[in-house]
Structure 1
Amino acid sequence: MDQRHATALKAAGMKATPKRLAILEMLEAEPGYASPEELWKRLKDRFDRLGLPTVYRNLEELSQSGVLSKVIHPNRQLYYYFCSNREHHHHFVCLSCRKVEDIPACGIEALEQEVSKRNGGKVLSHILQLNGLCGGCADNGEKR
């Protein structure tokens, strides 16, 4: 058992179950994002009873608790990515090779203030994901 993953789960208020730990282990080993179906196919032989709904449920819980990042793809499929960066940041997602890169800059604060000023409310969170082709895929002439 990877103690880092167990610690991350406990810090998020979640139990460190064998299935959750296996999901985190597998996603951390991925160079990019993976779909629930891909993870289920790789994990189902490790567990006597592991259904696709269990994988979906665990991924959603891990995402909501901030342990995993959700990647929203233009094909409308949800993917998941293990991001160890706990600082506020956003992601650049390569639609060809599936690589995910951190974007440390955030220019959304001014927009949040403007929205709050206009509607009198308060923005509690935001999500910014940039989709495109990474340098390697762009150099290879790949298109999506």
Structure 2
Amino acid sequence: MDDSFFSIETVYDPSVKLQDELWKRLHEASVARLSPSDPQETRSVAITVRKNQELRAGLLAISYFGGMNLQCLWVHAEERGQGLGEKLLARIEDLAKELHCNIIWGHTFGFQARDFYLKNGYSPFGELPDFPPGHGCTFLKKNL
């Protein structure tokens, strides 16, 4: 391969436009390999909880190929233990079903919420021990 035709660039904090373009191209290449009957739509979603217009909890997720990837779930420290996390999970699981997803998955670190996900019916399917150092990362899933 003649590298003189290529320019390789590292971009820290890439723009949303660049990220969208890369995801779009990967999705197009992936869809080309699927059967037309396979789920092909991709949807990003945010669910937020506000109190007096201040963000108190929320999540980010993306659905694709019949699954929902839970990317981020956060509850303000003052609001924890009041059921907001469970309500957010229930809402995203319902939405995933509406979008014809049959599985939802994500990850959590050892210092975050592993037991919370287990209590809500998620099961571990992978581990990264000692990541970050001194902790661990657990990948969890729930069939819908």
Shorter-normalised TM-score: what interval?
A: under 0.3
Which structure features the higher share of helix residues? 1
Per the normalisation by structure 2, the TM-score is: 0.25
Which structure features the higher share of strand residues? 2
Using CA pairs below 8 Å that are at least 6 residues apart, which structure has the higher relative contact order?
Answer: 1
Per the normalisation by structure 1, the TM-score is: 0.25
Structure with higher Rg: it is 2
